[in-house]
């Protein structure tokens, strides 16, 4: 894989044959995925969702000391308004001087649609530099400039010489892809092209400036350092847990890309291994770091729940040849954890649960819930691609549990909940409120204030779960007093009635 | 040509259109746009307006054609037709309203014609072009209202003398819209009128449908809702009066007199209501006599808000609270004529206070205008500092407030640092809430 010379990465429909519309059993999904039959399935009724620009911003907005320029009409990136007051606190957990989210919209109007918006973009870049003196100016490109043919790369080239900040164009126009996760590739593409140094030049300058001892020390440090790639919806305490796990194996961590400073990416090549916590999130980045800089990677699983946390640690340990130490650590950790979980298990026994979220996380979460003694009765993932095949294949009773691939689409969820009647919904943002209105308890997962990863994450998850189950009155009252916007007969139809496989 | 905007406080035309439809009872927006438009707007509306939430059929439940590259090349009308038909099967509403995003307007899909075909078959479907590049949220509000007034409001040559319509207060952009409408409605009921506000508590689509029988439209804005009011007058023969948003005793008295005059209401009725309401208002305000005077609760202040709120709040601070609103920044995109009109609203405060008024869309400029209007201390021993101070604005203005050591109350969109349910700031009753919130901050930080 080497797309870095191109201005924009390919979309996931093309690169990964990903799909965002499916309903059926887990086993059938894996079969179809392996045959490549999922690509292009559509819905004849659909509800709105995010686009790759929205999701790109979710990552890019976290970058410290940067200004984001949304090149498009006023509404594009408007969701920033809802995080503008909150994001600063999370940035300040990494740097107490962080300024929070700063953004500029190029405000393309009718005249720009006709005459082009390149001047607006240029003005916005110069303003961002002069007003904020940031380390990086990140440009996200929306639908309108893309369709009218604004050449943002030549604007960037023209203006880069005049300013200090590194300009990072990210091509993420929404209409190009149905797979919101294409955003991850668009963002990493921009980072790879603009924030990560050319390795040859860097090696040369290091040789010029360092003596032999320093060089050896540096080499040793790098040999014990891994890049751990975080996601924007995990918390600082999640990161501390991962640091704790790998520190036990005497490894050092660089944590990228979320909440990083633009300069932190200079260090991305100073590690001996890249470790992903979510293949869907990181495959584009780690593949390129391997191709260009010869840094190997671990991309297999996510450290959620005991089984996959163990697997995650062992995969890393194997690379460094320290499996024995890892096994000892895991044995000690799991023993402590299992003792701590004893008081909760009775409460969870036989509870039926539905799960929603990112594909890898949903499957890992199903494993976690099953481990805690609950019964998984349904899963929903934002999209599906080959990265979940191995994990989904391991789902117990995979021929029975329905799997719904849907970016949002709360109408399908409402139908599933009405018919499966789970005791609990566990979900990532977007579907939780709707589940709540159906009267069942909801446990939100992946949040910037909660821990979810590693062994500590398992315990905290159980603790929160027990709390939510202990008093579900709020949602029960909602369920009795609110109505979802669907006709009654929708709940009598098959939940996947509007998925049209004929278009596949 | 338009200029970039740093941290804009509104969405695009489509955003305003969706916001307006979202809070109309049992109206289902159908978005004909790229997939992300609705999702992005949903987040902004839910999380930046005091946690409004998804609503009945909004948030991620918004029906949307989710067109992408292939539809843009070959046209999206077929996909829209399919989406409207399936929406009518699945989603339970009384009116379905197709709104469009930039891409479909640019490629020339005729979404309105598609909606009309359903309408002709007797289905309750309307449509309007709302491509984001046409303007900001306020424009979306005007387009949707205009369309509803043209095609949904039933023609009725017989007017009811005691019925009025009230609009111009833009839902969600006015985070307190629903509570505010309640209060204005109650006030007008008190002077003897039935009021349709369309977006208010307990109203149904019928309030809109039969709005043509009203004898007057009251537009609570110098800028927003004016275009729809003109269309209303043209089609339904109902005149309109502009009566700017009233907050507090001074503003509300003016409001009642303006409306009373336009309606030909007996002066004695207006006077009676003013007297009663004022008496109730001061029976509470009186409680502040001690704390205001014992703790010296007069404040310098800065107001950052839209064109409806800024004059109303500034007048309230100056004429009701006896404060010193020194700087007011209006953050909307306005024409020169609109700016001139709005300036006149700042010239007749009974207190004689004349705040410095600036029109600026960029968030960072609040502090620049502040520094330009109030000199910095150059290490002088004796210095007239801007203290004690108070900032009223959106949550984007919290940092500015911190920088001048002032408490901050969120009153204008976006509001992501407080939860708003039925709170209201207009009229006499709303002003009491505003006083509670402002002075609550002052005593809370003692």
**Which of B7, B66, B92 is closest, CB to CB, to A46?**
B66
Look up residue A169 and give its DSSP letter: E
**Which of A108, A131, A174 is closest, CB to CB, to B35?**
A174
- Spatial separation of the C-alpha atoms in residues B185 and B197, rounded to whole Å: 8
| Percentage of the residues of chain B whose pLDDT score is greater than 90 | 97
- Nearest 5°: CA angle at B396, between B392 and B397? 40
How many angstroms from the chain centroid is the CA of residue A70?
Answer: 20
Positive or negative CA dihedral for B44, B437, B169, B165? positive
pLDDT surpassing 90 at residue A41: no
pLDDT at A462: 97
Nearest CA in chain B to A88: B399
pLDDT at B136: 97
> Which of B37, B333, B368 is the mutation pick for testing A, counting most A CBs within 10 A?
B37
Nearest CA in chain B to A411: B61
> Which of B1, B2, B3, B4 is the mutation pick for testing A, counting most A CBs within 10 A?
B4
How confident is the model over A106-122, as pLDDT tens digits? 999 999 999 999 999 99
pLDDT surpassing 60 at residue B52: yes
Interface A-B, measured as beta-carbon pairs within 8 A, has a size of: 256
Region B370-378: mean pLDDT is 90
Mean of the per-residue pLDDT values of chain B: 97
Region A415-429: mean pLDDT is 97
How confident is the model over B135-144, as pLDDT tens digits? 999 999 999 9
Strand partners of residue A444: A427
How confident is the model over A262-293, as pLDDT tens digits? 999 999 999 999 999 999 999 999 999 999 99
Region B255-260: mean pLDDT is 98
**Torsion angle, alpha carbons of A395, A399, A401, A403, to 10:** 90
**Residues of A with CB below 8 A from B82's CB?**
44
**Residues of B with CB below 8 A from A134's CB?**
none
Among candidate residues B275, B289, B274, the one with its CA nearest the CA of residue B321: B289
Nearest chain B Cα distance for residue A327, angstroms: 44
Does A123 contact B4 at a Cβ distance shorter than 8 Å?
A: yes
Nearest CA in chain B to A115: B1
Nearest chain B Cα distance for residue A54, angstroms: 6
**Which of A53, A80, A110 is closest, CB to CB, to B134?**
A110
Among candidate residues A112, A41, A95, A102, the one with its CA nearest the CA of residue A70: A102
User: Is beta strand A21-25 parallel, antiparallel or unpaired with respect to A402-406?
Assistant: antiparallel
**Residues of B with CB below 8 A from A80's CB?**
7, 44
Per the CB < 8 A criterion, the answer to whether A104 and B365 are in contact is: no
Region B14-38: mean pLDDT is 97
Is residue A471 very low, low, confident or very high in pLDDT (cuts 50, 70, 90)?
very high
Residue A213 dihedral angles phi and psi, to the nearest 5°? -65, -45
Instruction: Give A342: exposed, middle or buried? Use CB within 10 Å, 0-12, 13-18, 19+.
Output: exposed
Per the CB < 8 A criterion, the answer to whether A281 and A446 are in contact is: no
Among candidate residues B361, B391, B386, the one with its CA nearest the CA of residue B372: B386
pLDDT surpassing 60 at residue B177: yes
Does A73 contact B41 at a Cβ distance shorter than 8 Å?
A: no
| Percentage of the residues of chain B whose pLDDT score is greater than 70 | 100
pLDDT surpassing 60 at residue B422: yes
| Percentage of the residues of chain A whose pLDDT score is greater than 70 | 97
Among candidate residues B140, B196, B193, the one with its CA nearest the CA of residue B170: B140
Count of Cβ atoms closer than 10 Å to residue A243 Cβ: 16
- Residues contacting B334, CB < 8 A, separation 6+: B223, B307, B342, B359
Does B72 contact A147 at a Cβ distance shorter than 8 Å?
A: yes
- Spatial separation of the C-alpha atoms in residues A254 and A222, rounded to whole Å: 10
- Residues contacting B159, CB < 8 A, separation 6+: B213, B214, B215, B237, B238
Does A78 contact B15 at a Cβ distance shorter than 8 Å?
A: yes
**Which of A52, A54, A485 is closest, CB to CB, to B56?**
A485
User: Is beta strand A225-229 parallel, antiparallel or unpaired with respect to A136-141?
Assistant: unpaired
pLDDT surpassing 90 at residue B446: no
Does B2 contact A109 at a Cβ distance shorter than 8 Å?
A: yes
Q: Does residue B24 sit in helix, strand or coil?
A: coil
Per the CB < 8 A criterion, the answer to whether B331 and B395 are in contact is: no
User: Is beta strand A499-500 parallel, antiparallel or unpaired with respect to B356-359?
Assistant: unpaired
Is residue A504 very low, low, confident or very high in pLDDT (cuts 50, 70, 90)?
very low
B414: preceding bond cis by omega (within 30 degrees): yes
Q: Quick one: residue B358, left, alpha or beta (phi over 0 = left, psi -120 to 50 = alpha)?
A: beta
Region B228-245: mean pLDDT is 98
**Torsion angle, alpha carbons of A329, A331, A334, A339, to 10:** -120
Instruction: Give B77: exposed, middle or buried? Use CB within 10 Å, 0-12, 13-18, 19+.
Output: buried
Among candidate residues A455, A193, A148, the one with its CA nearest the CA of residue B102: A148
Query: Is the pLDDT higher at B74 or at A197?
Result: B74
- Residues contacting B263, CB < 8 A, separation 6+: B164, B193, B215, B216
SS3 percent helix, strand, coil of chain B, rounded to 5, is 50, 15, 35
Strands across the sheet containing B300-305: B356-359, B324-330, B300-305, B389-393, B408-410
Does A107 contact B42 at a Cβ distance shorter than 8 Å?
A: no
Region A438-461: mean pLDDT is 95
Nearest chain A Cα distance for residue B76, angstroms: 12
Does A107 contact B4 at a Cβ distance shorter than 8 Å?
A: yes
* Structure tokens, A450: 């909660």
- Spatial separation of the C-alpha atoms in residues A269 and B288, rounded to whole Å: 64
Nearest chain A Cα distance for residue B298, angstroms: 28
Per the CB < 8 A criterion, the answer to whether A257 and A286 are in contact is: no
- Nearest 5°: CA angle at B394, between B181 and A99? 160
Q: Does residue A228 sit in helix, strand or coil?
A: strand
SS3 percent helix, strand, coil of chain A, rounded to 5, is 50, 15, 35
**Torsion angle, alpha carbons of B412, B414, B416, B417, to 10:** -30
Q: Quick one: residue A156, left, alpha or beta (phi over 0 = left, psi -120 to 50 = alpha)?
A: alpha
A349: preceding bond cis by omega (within 30 degrees): no
Does B1 contact A112 at a Cβ distance shorter than 8 Å?
A: yes
CA distances A470 to A425, A427, A473, Å, are 14, 18, 9
Nearest chain A Cα distance for residue B290, angstroms: 35
- Spatial separation of the C-alpha atoms in residues A474 and A483, rounded to whole Å: 15
Model ipTM value: 0.95
Nearest CA in chain B to A58: B40
pLDDT at B338: 97
Per the CB < 8 A criterion, the answer to whether A22 and A40 are in contact is: no
Helical spans, DSSP H, in B300-426: 309-315, 336-344, 365-373, 398-403
User: Is beta strand B125-128 parallel, antiparallel or unpaired with respect to A225-229?
Assistant: unpaired
How confident is the model over A159-210, as pLDDT tens digits? 999 999 999 999 999 999 999 999 999 999 999 999 997 755 555 555 556 6
- Spatial separation of the C-alpha atoms in residues A378 and A356, rounded to whole Å: 9
Nearest CA in chain B to A100: B399
**Which of A82, A103, A177 is closest, CB to CB, to B46?**
A82
- Spatial separation of the C-alpha atoms in residues A489 and A477, rounded to whole Å: 23
User: Is beta strand B163-167 parallel, antiparallel or unpaired with respect to B95-100?
Assistant: unpaired
For the ranges A22-36, A417-431, B241-255, B274-288, the lowest mean pLDDT is seen at: A22-36
Does B13 contact A75 at a Cβ distance shorter than 8 Å?
A: yes
CA distances B243 to A427, A451, B257, Å, are 47, 52, 9
Does B60 contact A408 at a Cβ distance shorter than 8 Å?
A: yes
Nearest chain B Cα distance for residue A324, angstroms: 48
- Spatial separation of the C-alpha atoms in residues B213 and B222, rounded to whole Å: 24
- Spatial separation of the C-alpha atoms in residues B4 and B21, rounded to whole Å: 28
Nearest CA in chain A to B362: A104
Per the CB < 8 A criterion, the answer to whether A275 and A297 are in contact is: yes
Q: Does residue A123 sit in helix, strand or coil?
A: helix
Question: What is the number of residues in chain B?
Answer: 446
Nearest chain B Cα distance for residue A111, angstroms: 6
Mean of the per-residue pLDDT values of chain A: 94
Does B8 contact A490 at a Cβ distance shorter than 8 Å?
A: no
- Spatial separation of the C-alpha atoms in residues A242 and A226, rounded to whole Å: 11
Nearest chain B Cα distance for residue A32, angstroms: 24
Does A408 contact B39 at a Cβ distance shorter than 8 Å?
A: yes
Per the CB < 8 A criterion, the answer to whether A211 and A46 are in contact is: no
**Residues of A with CB below 8 A from B107's CB?**
147
Count of Cβ atoms closer than 10 Å to residue B369 Cβ: 18
Per the CB < 8 A criterion, the answer to whether A169 and A199 are in contact is: no
- Spatial separation of the C-alpha atoms in residues A235 and A241, rounded to whole Å: 10
For the ranges A206-215, A450-459, B435-444, the lowest mean pLDDT is seen at: A206-215
Among candidate residues B113, B118, B119, B96, the one with its CA nearest the CA of residue B21: B96
pLDDT at B376: 84
Count of Cβ atoms closer than 10 Å to residue A48 Cβ: 30
**Residues of B with CB below 8 A from A51's CB?**
34-37, 39-40
Strand (E) positions, A79-122? 103-105
- Spatial separation of the C-alpha atoms in residues B146 and A233, rounded to whole Å: 41
**Residues of B with CB below 8 A from A43's CB?**
66
Look up residue B228 and give its DSSP letter: H
**Which of B11, B62, B67 is closest, CB to CB, to A75?**
B11
> Which of A21, A56, A73 is the mutation pick for testing B, counting most B CBs within 10 A?
A73
pLDDT at A44: 96
**Which of B28, B40, B47 is closest, CB to CB, to A50?**
B40
Does B132 contact A74 at a Cβ distance shorter than 8 Å?
A: yes
């Amino acid at each position: 894989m080497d797309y870095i010379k191109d201005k924009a990465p390919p979309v996931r429909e093309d690169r990964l044959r990903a799909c965002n519309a499916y309903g059926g059993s887990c086993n059938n999904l894996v079969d179809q995925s392996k045959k490549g039959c999922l690509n292009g399935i559509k819905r004849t009724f659909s509800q709105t969702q995010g686009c790759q620009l929205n999701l790109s911003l979710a990552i890019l907005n976290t970058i410290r000391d940067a200004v984001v320029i949304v090149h498009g009409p006023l509404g594009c990136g408007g969701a920033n308004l809802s995080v503008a007051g909150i994001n600063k606190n999370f940035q300040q957990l990494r740097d107490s001087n962080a300024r929070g989210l700063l953004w500029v919209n190029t405000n393309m109007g009718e005249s720009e649609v006709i005459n082009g918006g390149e001047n607006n973009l240029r003005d916005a870049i110069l303003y961002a530099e002069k007003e904020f003196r940031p380390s990086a100016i990140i440009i996200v490109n929306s639908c309108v400039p893309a369709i009218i043919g604004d050449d943002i790369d030549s604007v960037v080239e023209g203006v880069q010489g005049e300013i200090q900040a590194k300009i990072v164009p990210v091509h993420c126009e929404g209409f190009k892809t149905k797979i919101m996760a294409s955003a991850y590739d668009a963002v990493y593409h921009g980072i790879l092209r603009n924030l990560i140094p050319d390795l040859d030049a860097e090696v040369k300058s290091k040789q010029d400036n360092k003596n032999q001892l320093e060089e050896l020390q540096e080499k040793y440090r790098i040999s014990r350092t891994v890049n751990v790639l975080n996601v924007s919806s995990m918390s600082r305490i999640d990161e501390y847990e991962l640091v704790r796990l790998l520190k036990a194996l005497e490894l050092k961590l660089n944590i990228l890309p979320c909440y990083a400073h633009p300069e932190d990416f200079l260090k991305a090549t100073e590690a001996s291994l890249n470790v992903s916590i979510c293949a869907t999130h990181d495959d584009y980045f780690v593949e390129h770091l391997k191709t260009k800089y010869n840094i190997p990677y671990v991309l297999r699983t996510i450290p959620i729940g005991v089984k996959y946390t163990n697997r995650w640690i062992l995969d890393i340990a194997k690379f460094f040849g320290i499996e024995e130490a890892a096994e000892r650590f895991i044995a000690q950790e799991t023993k402590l954890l299992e003792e701590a979980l004893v008081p909760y298990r009775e409460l969870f026994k036989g509870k039926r649960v539905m799960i929603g979220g990112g594909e890898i996380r949903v499957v890992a979460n199903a494993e976690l819930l099953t481990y805690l003694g609950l019964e998984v009765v349904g899963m929903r993932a934002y999209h599906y691609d080959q990265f979940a095949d191995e994990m989904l294949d391991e789902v117990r009773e995979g021929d029975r549990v329905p799997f719904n691939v849907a970016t949002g689409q709360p109408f399908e969820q409402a139908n599933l909940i009405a018919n499966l009647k789970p005791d609990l919904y566990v979900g990532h943002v977007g579907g939780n409120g709707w589940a709540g209105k159906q009267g069942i308890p909801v446990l939100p997962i992946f949040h910037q204030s909660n821990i979810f990863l590693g062994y500590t994450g398992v315990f905290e998850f159980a603790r929160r779960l027990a709390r939510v189950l202990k008093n579900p009155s709020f949602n029960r009252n909602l369920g009795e007093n609110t109505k979802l916007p669907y006709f009654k007969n929708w709940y009598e139809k098959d939940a996947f009635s509007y998925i049209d496989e004929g278009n596949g | 040509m338009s200029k970039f905007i740093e941290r804009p406080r509104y969405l695009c035309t489509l955003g305003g259109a969706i916001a307006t439809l979202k809070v109309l009872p049992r109206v289902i927006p159908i978005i004909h746009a790229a997939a992300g438009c609705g999702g992005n707007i949903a987040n902004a509306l839910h999380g930046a307006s005091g946690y409004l939430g998804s609503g009945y059929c909004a948030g991620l439940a918004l029906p949307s054609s989710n067109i992408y590259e292939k539809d843009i090349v070959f046209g999206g009308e077929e996909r829209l037709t399919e989406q409207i038909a399936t929406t009518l099967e699945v989603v339970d509403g009384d009116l379905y309203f197709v709104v469009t995003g930039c891409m479909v307007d640019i490629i020339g899909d005729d979404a309105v014609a598609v909606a009309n075909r359903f309408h002709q078959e007797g289905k309750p479907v309307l449509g309007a072009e709302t491509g984001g590049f046409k303007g900001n949220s306020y424009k979306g509000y005007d387009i949707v209202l205009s369309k509803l007034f043209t095609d949904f409001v039933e023609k009725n040559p017989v007017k009811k003398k005691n019925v009025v319509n009230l609009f111009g207060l833009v839902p969600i952009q006015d985070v307190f819209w629903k509570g505010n409408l309640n209060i204005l409605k109650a006030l007008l009921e008190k002077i003897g009128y039935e009021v349709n506000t369309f977006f208010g508590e307990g109203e149904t689509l019928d309030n809109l449908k039969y709005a043509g029988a009203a004898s007057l439209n009251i537009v609570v804005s110098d800028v927003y809702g004016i275009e729809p009011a003109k269309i209303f007058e043209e089609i339904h023969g109902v005149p309109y009066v502009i009566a700017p948003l009233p907050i507090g005793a001074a503003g509300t008295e003016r409001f009642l007199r303006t409306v009373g005059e336009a309606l030909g209401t007996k002066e004695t009725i207006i006077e009676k209501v003013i007297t009663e309401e004022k008496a109730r208002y001061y029976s509470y305000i009186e409680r502040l006599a001690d704390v205001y005077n014992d703790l010296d609760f007069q404040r310098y202040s800065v107001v950052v808000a839209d064109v409806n709120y800024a004059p109303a709040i500034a007048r309230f601070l100056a004429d009701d609270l006896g404060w010193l609103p020194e700087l007011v920044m209006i953050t909307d995109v306005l024409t020169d004529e609109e700016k001139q009109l709005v300036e006149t609203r700042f010239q007749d405060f009974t207190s004689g206070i004349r705040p410095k008024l600036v029109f600026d869309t960029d968030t960072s400029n609040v502090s620049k205008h502040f520094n330009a209007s109030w000199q910095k201390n150059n290490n002088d021993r004796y210095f007239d500092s801007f203290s004690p101070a108070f900032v009223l604005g959106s949550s984007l203005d919290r940092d500015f407030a911190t920088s001048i050591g002032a408490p901050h109350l969120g009153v204008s969109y976006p509001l992501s640092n407080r939860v708003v349910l039925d709170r209201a700031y207009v009229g006499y009753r709303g002003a009491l809430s505003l006083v509670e919130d402002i002075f609550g901050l002052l005593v809370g930080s003692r």
